[in-house]
Structure 1
Amino acid sequence: MAAKIRVLTVVTNHADLGNTGKKTGWYLPEVAHPYDVFVKAGFEVDFVSPQGGQAPMDPGSAEAFKDDPVCQAFLKSGAEKLKTTMTPSQVDISKYKVIFYAGGHGPMFDLPNNMEIANLCTKAYEAGAIVSAVCHGTVGLVPVKLSNGDSIVKGQTVTSFTNAEEEFMKLTEAMPFLLETKLRELGANFVGAANFQVNVQTSGRIVTGQNPPSASPMAEKIVSLVKAA
C-alpha cells in the first residue's frame, strides 16, 4: 500500500490585529475547507507554527462561519490539532508532498520574517513538493529564497488577499505592509480578481488562492496536481 500523501499546513501564532485592539489568528474557513478537501482525498494533514503549540483562531471567523457545516465539523474534530502544532525544528520536511500556508491576518505579523519555516519551504519546493497558500497565507512566501538566491515568487503567477480587499476591510493601516504590493516588489506576476471572488492561480508547483471563497478550489487544484504527478 502506498504511503499517504502528507500536507504540512502552516498557521500563525499571532493573535493581535495590529494596533486595532482586536484579535486575529488563523481564519477558520481557510484552514477548515482545505483540511476537508485534503482528508477526503486521503491525505494526512499536520500543522506547524512559528512557535509551535497553541495556534489562535480569529474569533471573528468563528462567528462569521457559524452556519458553515464544513467549518463546524472541523471545530468538532480537526481543530484539536491546532492546540499542539509542531515547531519548525520538529518537522521532517522530507515527508511532505505539499506545504500549505493558511490565511488570516495573523500571518502578516509572524511569517514574513520567520526563516525557519521559510527554509522548510525552500527544501520542500526544491525536492519537488507543491507550495500553496490562501489569502494572507501567501505572506509565508515573502521570506522564501531558492538556492540560487531568487525569491520563490520571482517570475511566478500568484495571488493573495488584494490591496482592494484590505481597503474594503478598512485594515490597510493596521497591516505592517500590503501583501499584494510586496509580492509585486519581489517580482511576482500578481493576478487579482474582484473583491471576494474566487481566484486560484497555478504556476508550476505553486498554487495560491485570493481569499476565503478560494480556499476549497485551491485545495482541489492541489489534489488534482498531486494525483497527476
Structure 2
Amino acid sequence: MTKALIVLTNHAKFDTLNRATGVWLSEATHFNQVMTDNQIDVDYVSPAGGYVPLDPGSIAADQLDAVNLAFYTDADFRNRALGQSLKPSDVNAADYDIIYFAGGHGTVWDFPKNQELGQLAKQIYDNGGIISAVCHGLVGLLAIQNADGNAFIDGKQLTGFTNEEEAINQLTDDVPFLAEDALKAAGAHHTKSDPYTEHVVTDGRLVTGQNPQSAKGVGEAVIAVLNK
C-alpha cells in the first residue's frame, strides 16, 4: 500500500516578536486531502515529535475552507498530527513512498539542520520514493545531503516561499534567514510566480510548491509522478 509521511514543525513562536507561529494548516490539509482522495494513508512526523502548534493566522475565519474545517474538527487529525506526531526515530523510511514537508514560519527554525529528517527523506528518495515540500517547508530540503556530502538540492529545479512574499508579510527582518536566498545558496535553481499565486515545480521525483496556494497542486503533482 502506498503511504505518505507529512513533516510538521514544532516551533511555536517567533524569536524576535511576541507572535505565535507553527504549521500553516492548509499546507498540511490540502496536500493530505489529495492523498486521501487517492487512497494513500498518511502519517505525521516532526523534529521533536509530540505537539505541533498551528499558526493562528491559518485558522482565521477567512482561512477555514471546507477542507481545513474538516481536518481541524477531525479527532484523528488533531490527535495524530497536532497532539502526538511521531519522532524521526519512530519512523521506518521503508514504509513510505512519499515524504512531504509542510510549511509555516516555524519550519525555518527547526527544519534546516535536522539531520534525522534529512536522512529519512534521502532514504525514502533512494528507495525510489518522492520528496515534496511547499512554501517555508522547502527549508527542510536543506538538511538533505547526497552520499558525497553535497546538498541534495544542488542543481535541482524547485520553488518555495519568495523574498517578495516575505516582504509582503513584513517579516523579512524577523526570520533567521530568507527561504529563497537559502535555497539558491545551496545551489538550487529557484523559480517563482507572482506572490501568493499557485506555482508547482517537478524535477524528477522532487515536487515543490511556492506558497499556501500551491499545496493542493503539489499533492496532485506527486500523484502524477507516482502514476508514471
C-alpha spacing 1:65/1:46, structure 2 compared with 1 (3 Å): farther
Contact 1:29-1:65 at 8 Å conserved across structures = no
C-alpha spacing 1:130/1:52, structure 2 compared with 1 (3 Å): same
Instruction: Determine the structure 1 residue equivalent to 2:178.
Output: 178
1:80 equivalent to 2:79? Answer yes
1:49 equivalent to 2:46? Answer yes
SS in 2 for 1:201: strand
Amino acid at match of 2:41: E
Identify which range, 170-179 or 72-81, moves more after superposition.
72-81
Instruction: Determine the structure 2 residue equivalent to 1:211.
Output: 211
Amino acid at match of 1:206: L
The Cα shift of 1:79 comes to 2.9
Contact 1:7-1:96 at 8 Å conserved across structures = yes
C-alpha spacing 1:168/1:31, structure 2 compared with 1 (3 Å): same
TM (norm. structure 2) is: 0.96
Contact 1:17-1:174 at 8 Å conserved across structures = yes
C-alpha spacing 1:202/1:193, structure 2 compared with 1 (3 Å): same
Instruction: Determine the structure 2 residue equivalent to 1:154.
Output: 154
C-alpha spacing 1:132/1:65, structure 2 compared with 1 (3 Å): farther
Q: Which of the residues 25, 30, 33 maps onto 1:28?
A: 25
C-alpha spacing 1:202/1:91, structure 2 compared with 1 (3 Å): same
Amino acid at match of 1:81: R
Instruction: Determine the structure 1 residue equivalent to 2:14.
Output: 17
1:61 equivalent to 2:52? Answer no
C-alpha spacing 1:92/1:67, structure 2 compared with 1 (3 Å): closer
The Cα shift of 1:64 comes to 5.0
Amino acid at match of 1:68: D
The Cα shift of 1:181 comes to 0.5
Amino acid at match of 1:185: A
Contact 1:133-1:208 at 8 Å conserved across structures = yes
* Equivalent-residue separation in structure 2 for 1:67 and 1:152 (angstroms): 35
SS in 2 for 1:35: helix
C-alpha spacing 1:153/1:54, structure 2 compared with 1 (3 Å): same
Contact 1:65-1:71 at 8 Å conserved across structures = no
Amino acid at match of 1:45: V
1:121 equivalent to 2:121? Answer yes
RMSD: 1.0
SS in 2 for 1:104: coil
* Equivalent-residue separation in structure 2 for 1:214 and 1:118 (angstroms): 23
* Equivalent-residue separation in structure 1 for 2:112 and 2:22 (angstroms): 15
1:135 equivalent to 2:135? Answer yes
Amino acid at match of 1:53: G
* Equivalent-residue separation in structure 1 for 2:51 and 2:64 (angstroms): 25
The Cα shift of 1:127 comes to 1.4
TM (norm. structure 1) is: 0.96
SS in 2 for 1:198: coil
Over residues 164-196 of structure 1, what are the superposed CA-to-partner deviations in whole Å (9 max), with x where a residue is unaligned? 000110001111111101111111000011100
Structure 2 unmatched runs, 5+? none
The Cα shift of 1:227 comes to 1.9
Structure 1 unmatched runs, 5+? none
Amino acid at match of 2:65: D
C-alpha spacing 1:30/1:64, structure 2 compared with 1 (3 Å): farther
Instruction: Determine the structure 2 residue equivalent to 1:105.
Output: 105
Runs of 4+ in structure 1 over 6 Å off = none
